[in-house]
């Protein structure tokens, strides 16, 4: 894999804004910048994809073990939430998507940095914006990217016909994310309604409602459960629990303490970094550089990197928890003075996308640049026929010029 130079499209601002990306910037170091992109070999892309699928299976096993071994204190989850999380997991409350953040410099195995299992953003960029860029700039290229099709298919499996989407309306990136998710639900034939979290109501009948007093059948909330448990209406969730997506059982995975739990369950696993709840215990293993991470936090908030001589770097933003986990520092891919983190996107139980964020700081933050990617060489990539249907519906060129469906995989016919 390597960082390559690329030409910037004419009217690129109009192109990305027409597809819904309004927060992009226009300077050299803007969030979305087309002057460079990442190039992966097929083998490298598949290595990351396989790593994400394996980590997902390990995380699901960890949920079973957390419940079986009563490890709630290790996660800092209060007793008042245990029953609801246990019920949510036992009932298999539906999950939509999540994103693993991995470090990998191209040698050895990718390493898990964290699992954004509850409220991952940068979804629109990973799914639509970088795909449109690829079609415009490298029409014969490919990406690890079937996110849009997978999301539409996931909504097709959702029985409710009316889906509400909620976030903190004053946060543009969150509003952009739920607008895109609502589009995927609409393409699956759903009726959608977008709303502010503060406008969720509660009827005397025991049902949650929207501002029009309609009952909420299914609510996708881009709002962390650790915030939701502090809302006045949380105690009313009760039997309405399964209407919320992402489900509350994701609290076991969106918590960075899962890093230490996974290390307990899979010591020495090639996809994991040593992680402990106690810094001294980690240092006793011979680790010379490490990350200190709060259980909860977004966009690098509260994360710091250390070596035995002192502080290396500190992330922007604040921690949302005083509980910390300590993890060996990972080797990251570096190019052009930037450190890169790979985002591997899960829809349901399958990895469906790859994204790249780069920053001069070794800690990825809210303003870290998003880099589109492409895969070089002859491509055989998992696809489903929705890509064709959606391209036709949008009057766009279908991907892979002369591709054909073969055993649920699309192979380029070159």
Proportion of the chain above pLDDT 90, given as a percent: 80
Quote the pLDDT of residue 379: 46
In the block, tokens 């191209």 appear at 106
Using pLDDT thresholds of 50, 70 and 90, give the confidence band for residue 393: very low
**Which pair of structure tokens corresponds to residue 368?**
């870290």
190 with 217, same domain: the answer is: yes
Mean pLDDT over 294-323 rounds to: 87
User: What is the pTM for the complete model shown?
Assistant: 0.90
pLDDT at 319 over 80: no
Average pLDDT over the chain reads 89
Using pLDDT thresholds of 50, 70 and 90, give the confidence band for residue 321: confident
pLDDT at 378 over 60: no
**Least confident range of 112-116, 256-260, 315-319, 393-397:** 393-397
* Strand residue runs (E) in 78-196: 97-103, 111-116, 162-167, 191-196
List, in sequence order, every residue forming a beta bridge with 53; answer none if it has no partner. none
Quote the pLDDT of residue 15: 93
Question: 118 CB contacts (<8 Å, ≥6 apart)?
Answer: 98, 224, 225, 246, 250, 251, 253, 254
Using pLDDT thresholds of 50, 70 and 90, give the confidence band for residue 406: very low
- Asked whether residue 310 is domain-assigned, the answer is no
**Least confident range of 64-73, 268-277, 308-317:** 308-317
Quote the pLDDT of residue 299: 77
Quote the pLDDT of residue 2: 96
Mean pLDDT over 279-306 rounds to: 92
pLDDT at 397 over 60: no
388 with 273, same domain: the answer is: no
Quote the pLDDT of residue 30: 85
390 with 369, same domain: the answer is: no
Quote the pLDDT of residue 100: 98
- Asked whether residue 366 is domain-assigned, the answer is yes
59 with 172, same domain: the answer is: yes
394 with 255, same domain: the answer is: no
261 with 402, same domain: the answer is: no
- Asked whether residue 303 is domain-assigned, the answer is no
365 with 390, same domain: the answer is: no
Mean pLDDT over 294-317 rounds to: 89
232 with 250, same domain: the answer is: yes
pLDDT at 331 over 50: yes
Question: 345 CB contacts (<8 Å, ≥6 apart)?
Answer: 52, 97, 98, 99, 120, 123, 126, 127, 147, 351, 352, 353, 354, 355
pLDDT at 335 over 80: yes
List, in sequence order, every residue forming a beta bridge with 100; answer none if it has no partner. 115, 344
Quote the pLDDT of residue 404: 24
pLDDT at 380 over 50: no
Per residue in 113-136, pLDDT tens? 999 999 998 999 999 999 999 999
409 with 339, same domain: the answer is: no
pLDDT at 59 over 90: yes
**Which pair of structure tokens corresponds to residue 232?**
């006045």
- Asked whether residue 307 is domain-assigned, the answer is no
346 with 396, same domain: the answer is: no
Quote the pLDDT of residue 214: 96
Distance CA 177, CA 97 (A): 12
Quote the pLDDT of residue 138: 95
Count of domains for the chain: 2
Range(s) of the domain holding residue 410? 383-414
Mean pLDDT over 152-168 rounds to: 97
- Asked whether residue 15 is domain-assigned, the answer is no
- Asked whether residue 8 is domain-assigned, the answer is no
- Asked whether residue 95 is domain-assigned, the answer is yes
Distance CA 276, CA 260 (A): 5
Contact 180, 122 (CB under 8 A): no
Per residue in 228-254, pLDDT tens? 999 888 989 988 999 999 999 999 999
Using pLDDT thresholds of 50, 70 and 90, give the confidence band for residue 382: very low
Per residue in 25-38, pLDDT tens? 766 668 998 899 99
264 with 390, same domain: the answer is: no
368 with 413, same domain: the answer is: no
- Asked whether residue 72 is domain-assigned, the answer is yes
pLDDT at 400 over 70: no
Quote the pLDDT of residue 46: 97
């Amino acid at each position: 894999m390597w960082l390559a130079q690329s030409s910037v499209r004419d009217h690129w601002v109009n192109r990305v804004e027409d597809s819904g990306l309004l927060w992009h910037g226009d300077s050299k170091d803007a969030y979305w910048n087309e002057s460079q992109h990442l190039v992966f070999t097929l083998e490298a892309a598949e290595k990351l994809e396989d790593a994400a699928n394996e980590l997902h299976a390990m995380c699901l096993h960890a949920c079973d073990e957390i419940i079986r071994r009563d490890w709630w204190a290790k996660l800092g989850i209060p007793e008042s939430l245990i029953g609801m999380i246990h019920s949510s997991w036992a009932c298999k409350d539906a999950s939509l998507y999540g994103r693993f953040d991995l470090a990998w410099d191209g040698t050895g195995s990718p390493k898990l940095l964290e699992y954004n299992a509850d409220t991952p953003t940068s979804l629109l960029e990973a799914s639509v914006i970088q795909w449109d860029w690829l079609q415009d700039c490298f029409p014969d290229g490919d990406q690890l990217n079937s996110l849009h099709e997978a999301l539409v298919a996931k909504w097709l499996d959702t029985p409710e016909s009316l889906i509400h989407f909620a976030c903190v309306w004053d946060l543009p990136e969150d509003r952009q994310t739920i607008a895109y998710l609502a589009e995927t639900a609409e393409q699956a034939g759903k009726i959608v309604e977008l709303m502010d979290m503060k406008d969720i109501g509660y009827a005397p009948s025991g049902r949650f409602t929207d501002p029009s007093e309609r009952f909420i059948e299914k609510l996708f909330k881009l709002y962390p459960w650790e915030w939701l448990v502090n809302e006045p209406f949380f105690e009313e969730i009760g039997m309405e629990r399964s209407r919320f997506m992402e489900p509350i059982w994701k609290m076991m995975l969106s918590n960075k303490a899962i890093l230490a739990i996974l290390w307990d369950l899979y010591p020495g696993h090639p996809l994991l970094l040593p992680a402990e709840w106690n810094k001294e215990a980690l240092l006793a293993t011979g680790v010379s550089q490490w990350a200190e991470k709060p259980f909860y936090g977004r966009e690098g908030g509260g994360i710091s990197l250390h070596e035995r001589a002192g502080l290396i770097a500190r992330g922007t933003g604040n921690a949302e928890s005083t509980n910390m986990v300590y993890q060996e520092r990972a080797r990251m891919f570096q190019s052009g003075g930037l450190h890169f983190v790979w985002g591997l996107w899960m829809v349901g139980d399958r990895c469906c996308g790859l994204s790249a964020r780069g920053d001069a700081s070794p800690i990825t933050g809210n303003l870290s640049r998003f880099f589109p990617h492409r895969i070089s060489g002859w491509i055989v990539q998992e696809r489903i026929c929705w890509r064709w249907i959606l391209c036709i519906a949008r009057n766009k060129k279908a991907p892979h010029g002369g591709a054909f469906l073969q055993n649920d995989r699309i192979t380029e016919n070159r």
